[in-house]
Every structure is written in structure tokens, then in C-alpha cells.
């Protein structure tokens, strides 16, 4: 919850997170560095559309590849749940997140005026289509090389409908010690 309150002007409540984790057709991932949570993300399914609902990274850990690793895992989870395309919203002012999403094949498809309640900022709606095609698989392979190995750890008691994983990337090129890889809630 700490990252949520730092990153988002109108954070989700703990109850909302708990409710979301219990709902079907969702996948949530957490990035950890040791025991410290440094990021998380979630995707939900609507028919064969995957919607990236949230991606958040500890601001102190920005630019370490955690967001890329989280998004990579969310895409993988969405494909496993049957997604043929993905969508998300991003603040007009968040050019760094939009650039990351373009790396994953997301393109602007429209806008939602005054989407963000905290300041009335517009959202750019982005889509990535044909995510099951060979060309998209090749794109993901290139991203995998940037992300590096990821350790996936499931949670005891998870349902068949809801995936929950801890994602840990290893050996970031700019640091000697291992760092985590995970996802982002930049739909805010």
C-alpha cells in the first residue's frame, strides 16, 4: 500500500485491492527486492481483451527496468488467460510510461477527457493488437533480453481464476546486486 499512496494522488484502498484479488479473470504481480516490495501491477480480462489496470513502481527505484519487467509479466499472464489484444490508459503528462507502452506495441487509439479525478487530466487510451502473432512474440523476445531472467513464485491458496505472482528479476546491468523485475499501474 505504501507505493500506491506515494504514486497515486487518489490511491486504491486496501479493501479495493483485496476485493480485486478475489475477482475472477485477473492477474496481479509484485516485484520484490529481497523482502521489499518495489512495484506491482495487474491485468483483468474482458472477453479476449486484456486491460492493464495498474502498474506502480517505487519512485526511488525508477529507471531500473522494474516497470518493463512488470509489464512483460502482465502481458505473459494476459496471453495465458486468452487475450488477443491489450488496452490501458495513461496520463497525457506521463511520457515515460507512454514510451514504455510503445515499446510493448501499444499505440494511441483515443483519449478520455478529464479522466483523472485528482486534477482533471486527460488519459490517452492505448491498444496493442494481435499479441498472439509471431511478430508480437518476436517483440516480446527482444524485451525478454532486456528484462533478463525472472523468478516466478506462486502464492498458496490461489484460485484457478486469479493469478498472483511474485516476480524477481536478476542482475540489473547498472548494479552489482540483484534487483526485482515486475509490473506498473500507470493507468493513473
- DSSP letter for each residue of 140-180: HHHHHHHH--EEEEEPTT--SSEEEEEEEE---TT-SS---
89 is catalytic: yes
pLDDT tens sequence across 75-116: 999 999 999 999 999 999 999 999 999 999 999 999 999 999
Cα distance between residue 131 and residue 86, in whole Å: 8
116 is catalytic: no
Alpha carbon 181 to its chain centroid, in Å, reads 11
Catalytic one among 4, 89, 163, 186?
89
- Per-residue confidence at 21, pLDDT binned at 50, 70, 90? confident
Catalytic one among 28, 101, 115, 116?
101
Task: Provide the whole-model pTM.
Answer: 0.79
Q: Domains plus CATH for the chain?
A: 2-169 (3.40.630.30)
Residues 6+ apart with CB under 8 A from 71: 41, 52, 55, 100, 101, 104, 183, 184
Amino acid at each position: 500500500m505504501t507505493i500506491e499512496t506515494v504514486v497515486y494522488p487518489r490511491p486504491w484502498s486496501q479493501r479495493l485491492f483485496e476485493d480485486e484479488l478475489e475477482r475472477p479473470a485477473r492477474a496481479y504481480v509484485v516485484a520484490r527486492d529481497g523482502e521489499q516490495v518495489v512495484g506491482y501491477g495487474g491485468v483483468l480480462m474482458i472477453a479476449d481483451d486484456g486491460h492493464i489496470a495498474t502498474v506502480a513502481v517505487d519512485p526511488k527505484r525508477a529507471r531500473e527496468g522494474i516497470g518493463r519487467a512488470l509489464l512483460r509479466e502482465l502481458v505473459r499472464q494476459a496471453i495465458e488467460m486468452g487475450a488477443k489484444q491489450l488496452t490501458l490508459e495513461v496520463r497525457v503528462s506521463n511520457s515515460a510510461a507512454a514510451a514504455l507502452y510503445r515499446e510493448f506495441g501499444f499505440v494511441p487509439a483515443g483519449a478520455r477527457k478529464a479522466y483523472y479525478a485528482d486534477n482533471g487530466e486527460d488519459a490517452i487510451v492505448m491498444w496493442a493488437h494481435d499479441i498472439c502473432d509471431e511478430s508480437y512474440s518476436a517483440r516480446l523476445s527482444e524485451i525478454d533480453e532486456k528484462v533478463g531472467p525472472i523468478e516466478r513464485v506462486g502464492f498458496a491458496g490461489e484460485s484457478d481464476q486469479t493469478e498472483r505472482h511474485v516476480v524477481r528479476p536478476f542482475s540489473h546491468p547498472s548494479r552489482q546486486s540483484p534487483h526485482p523485475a515486475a509490473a506498473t499501474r500507470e493507468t493513473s
